[in-house]
Structure formats: structure tokens, C-alpha cells
Amino acid sequence: MKKIMYQEIVDRVASMCQEANYNLGEDVFEAFQQALRTEESPVGKDVLQQLVDNAKVAKTEHVPMCQDTGTAVFIVEIGQDCHIVGGSLSAAINEGVRKGYGEGYLRNSVVGDPLNRKNTGDNTPAVIHLEMVEGDEITIHMTAKGGGAENMSDMKMLKPSDGLVGIKDYILDIVKDAGPNACPPLVVGVGIGGNFERCAFLAKKSLFRPIGERNPDPTIADLEIELMEEINRLGIGPQGLGGSTTALDVKIEAEACHIATLPVAVNLNCHASRHQVAIL
């Protein structure tokens, strides 16, 4: 059985946290360039140019692109034929977050208790989702998820009779209500189906897919494109100052659900769509 050392996970996670916050992904950078070519509003263009310049400074100077360096969220696929030596997986991930955020001068943005709201001082605990898969590898997907866009996210149990029209109306309402607050241009993550908690997870999971990569199901892929066009007709624009670039992409994940239900979740991501992958 393949052995994976605790410390190896710690070090990889630490470097993922810093990379995610310093280096805007090529997919987002390319989406900014594309938006600069198509944006109709001069103010919107200025905002997009500022974001491009900001990403360059962050990358060159190794500083966070945004002061909200996020909650560290992980989806980990664990091969059932591997063995972690030296400690638990969740302890290794949390130690990696502690190290990455501490040594990388990233902001600690987690309170240990939602009511007394005292900062834990090391950005832990991370949010960790585990999935068992075949094989002997561990694939770690990480995102640094900001609070502003998370706050404008939403979930609703629709009725099956609401259908596709109901789903689209609901998603457009959420994006419209978020306006400038979620830091557009957005990546809109959508979960459809599953059950109450699974649907929210699907919306989050969709955000790990790079910009421009469509859902493999052609029907869902068409819906992603259609929704993106409709969202960009809302006029919200970069930073909500008006314009034709409100979403850089729409991502949808769909799954089986109960005969009585139609859960839909919308997880908004600001333009700082920061995701990393490591395979151990």
C-alpha cells in the first residue's frame, strides 16, 4: 500500500494557500483580457484594467491580490489504496493552512465561534470535504473563498413544477440582488439536485472547475452558456458600476434528487477565483 507522509501534505497545502493568493490563475487572467475586449462601459474597462494591473503586482511582489485571503476550502479525493503516515489527514491540512497563512503574511479571517466571534489567529479550521476514490493517490483541490461573495450566496428548495424557468429566474434574482456586493465580475457556481446539503456542496464544487471549462453534459453546458448571457444582460458590470461584464463564467453541477424536490444553490465567487490542485 502506498504511503503518503503527513509532512508532505502539510508542505503542499502551505504552498497551495500562498500560490492561490499571490498568483491569479491563467484562466481568470485570460477571462479579464477577454472582458477588456468586450466590455461596453469605459468605467467598467477601467476597473478590469485595474484588476489586471493588481494581479501583476501581486504575482511579481508575492503579495495577496486581495486582503480577504479567504477561508481555505478543500475537496480531497483519497485513493482507497493509500495510507497516510504520521497523523490524520485533517490535522495535516489544518497544519498546512496554519503554516501557509502564517509564513505567507496572509490574513487570518476565521472566528472560532460564530457567536462570540473571536479570531482563531491562524485561519483554521479549514473547511474540508472528503471523497473516497479508487487508486492510491490523494488529489487535493483548494480554494481561498472570500467572505463578501459567500455572503451573497443562497439556496432554495424549488418545486419540481418550477422547472427550468424557475431555476433560471431564481439564479438571476440572486445575481441581481448581489449587485456590487459580491465583487463582480463573478464566477457563478450553481448546484441543482442532490438534497439540501448536497446541493450547496455541488454549487461550491462547481467553482473548482477552471473558467471556460464546460460541464460534460451538453444540456447542462448549454444552460451554463445561456445563463451567462442572461446574467451579462443585467447591466451590473465590473464592481456593479454598470457594464456588460457581470459574470466571467457560470458553472453548474447537477445530481439525482428525490421525486418531490428540486434543490438549487447559488454560490457566488468574486473575480478573485483562486483555486489550486495538487496530486500526491
Partner 1 sequence: MPKSIKLPLDEKTVSSLRAGDQVRISGTVYTARDAAHMRMAETLDKGLELPFDINGQVIYYVGPTPAKPGQVIGSAGPTTSSRMDAYTPKLLELGLKGMIGKGYRNDQVKQAIQDNHAVYFAAVGGSAALIAKTIKSVEVIAYEDLGIEAIRKMEVEDFPAIVINDMHGGDYYQEGVNIYRKTNI
Query: Which residues of this protein are in contact with partner 1, per CB under 8 A?
Result: 40-41, 43-44, 46-47, 50-51, 53-54, 57-58, 61, 63-69, 105-109, 117, 119, 121, 147-148, 151, 169, 172-173, 176, 179-181, 183, 230, 233-237, 239-244, 270-272
Shortest CB 116 distance to partner 1, Å: 11
Least gap, CB of 203 to partner 1 (angstroms): 20
Q: Give the nearest distance from C-beta 12 to partner 1 in angstroms.
A: 22
Based on CB atoms, which residue is closest to partner 1, 23 or 139?
23
CB nearer to partner 1: give 270 or 280. Answer: 270
Nearer to partner 1, 61 or 134 (CB): 61
The total number of residues shown for the chain amounts to 280
DSSP state, residue 161: G
Angle at the Cα of 10 from the Cα atoms of 9 and 16, rounded to 5 degrees: 85
Nearer of residues 9 and 20 to partner 1, judged by Cβ: 20
Least Å distance, CB 95 to partner 1, is 19
Q: How far is it, in rounded angstroms, from Cα 206 to Cα 191? A: 7
Residue 74 or 170: the one with the smaller Cβ distance to partner 1 is 170
Q: Find the shortest distance in angstroms from Cβ 136 to partner 1.
A: 38
CA distances from 51 to 27, 44, 65, 155, 165 (A): 14, 11, 9, 29, 34
Distance CA 200, CA 11 (A): 29
Write b or e for each residue in 4-17: b if 16 or more Cβ atoms lie within 10 A of its Cβ, otherwise e: bebebbbbbbbbbb
Cβ closest to partner 1, residue 23 vs residue 195 = 23
**Where do the DSSP E strands lie in the chain?**
2-5, 71-79, 82-85, 127-133, 138-145, 154-158, 186-194, 247-257, 262-269, 275-279
By three-state DSSP, how is residue 187 classified?
strand
Cα first-last separation, the chain: 14
Query: Least distance from C-beta 135 to partner 1, angstroms?
Result: 37
| Cis before 185? omega within 30 | yes
69, HSE (Cβ side, Cα atoms, 13 Å): 27
Of the CA atoms within 13 Å of residue 252, those in its CB half-sphere come to: 22
- For the CB of residue 167, give the shortest distance to partner 1 in the complex, in Å: 14
- Closest to partner 1 by CB, 209 or 271: 271
